[in-house]
Amino acid sequence: MAQNKVITLDKIKIACQNCGLSNICLPLGLDSDDVERLDSIVQRNRPLRRGNYLFQTGDTFKSVYVVKTGTVKTYTQCPDGSEQVIGFHLPGEVIGLDGIELRKYICSAKALETSAICEIPFGQLEELTATIPNLQHQMFRLLSREISNDTSLMTLLGKSTAEERLAAFLLSLSIRLHSRGFSATEFNLSMSRQEIGSYLGLALETVSRLFTHFQEEKILKVNRKYVEILDLEKLYNLLSQQTVCLEKLRAP
């Protein structure tokens, strides 16, 4: 009896209708009826453990995925075994959109920590989208956001110094974590120096040295994965000459 009640509460809790992410996720702008229809096609499988794959390069495209909790990295792999990190994905961010065109994923996606994921079969999503104009609009917005985020990153990789890149990365994380209800100035990195370096086009040693340097400048307090931003303004100023407008650093 008691157990029955608990299960019921759980069921309520994990629906889109009750998800804290609904203001940044797909349901944004939908009325409650439509959220319910969307919710009915969402699959919630068991959480991924650190190191588990969501999908791998070349897998047949079937679904898009939304991070519910945790962090997921996407990356491509070189013949020589080294990898290029494409993105780090926080709760509310959609993964797998790159697979729509060729019907297979061009990235691999791997959990950096225990992560809960919502799976949305794309065929069903497309059917639903065709009947809910607001959902179609939201899908276009999501895809467009992905494109403009990539534009920002390309600008960063195209012309910035190592210092500017790491500053931009930290600020982007700060902003995104903050808009998800976490602290903007204190967080644990779920990725390694190596992975940060790959994402930013830098060697892991350079990333490590920059953390030390930022610490000497009293901009950060760093202890391995733990980062505290002591001086947000200085961090912003490092980017002042940059095109990258901060609102676009994978916000919200």
Binding site for DNA (CB under 7 A): 161-163, 192-194, 197, 201-209, 211-212, 222, 224-225
Q: Which stretch binds a copy of itself (CB under 8 A): 8-16, 33-41, 156-164, 215-223?
A: 156-164
**Which residues are paired to 118 by β-bridges?**
44, 66
Q: What is the DSSP string of 76-131?
A: EE-TTS-EEEEEEE-TT-EE-GGGTTTTB-SSEEEESSSBEEEEEEHHHHHHHHHH
Based on CB atoms, which residue is closest to DNA, 41 or 162?
Answer: 162
Based on CB atoms, which residue is closest to a copy of itself, 213 or 248?
Answer: 248
Q: How far is the CB of 179 from DNA (least distance, A)?
A: 25
Q: How far is the CB of 12 from a copy of itself (least distance, A)?
A: 31
Q: Exactly one of 130, 183, 205, 225 binds a copy of itself (CB under 8 A); which one?
A: 130
Dist CA 62 CA 133 (whole Å) = 22
**Which residues are paired to 220 by β-bridges?**
229
Q: Exactly one of 14, 15, 28, 106 binds a copy of itself (CB under 8 A); which one?
A: 106
Pair of tokens at residue 29: 């702008």
Q: Exactly one of 3, 10, 60, 80 binds a copy of itself (CB under 8 A); which one?
A: 80
Q: How far is the CB of 150 from DNA (least distance, A)?
A: 20
Q: Would you say 114 and 72 are in contact if contact means Cβ atoms under 8 Å apart?
A: no
User: Between β-strands 72-77 and 108-111, what pairing exists: parallel, antiparallel or unpaired?
Assistant: antiparallel
Q: Is 139 in the site for a copy of itself (CB under 8 A)?
A: yes
Q: Is 97 in the site for a copy of itself (CB under 8 A)?
A: yes
If you search the block for the tokens 């895809």, which residue do you land on?
143
In 10 A of CB 82, how many CB atoms?
Answer: 10
Q: Is 147 in the site for a copy of itself (CB under 8 A)?
A: yes
Q: Would you say 70 and 116 are in contact if contact means Cβ atoms under 8 Å apart?
A: yes
Based on CB atoms, which residue is closest to a copy of itself, 68 or 165?
Answer: 165
When CB distances are held under 5 to 8 angstroms depending on the partner's kind, the choice from DNA, a copy of itself, none that residue 211 binds is DNA
Which SS3 state, helix, strand or coil, does residue 49 take? Answer: coil
Beta strands, E only, 133-208: 186-188
User: Which residues contact a copy of itself (rule: CB under 8 A)?
Assistant: 76-80, 82, 84, 86, 97-102, 106-107, 126, 129-130, 133, 136-137, 139-148, 150-151, 153-155, 157-159, 198-201, 240-243, 245, 248
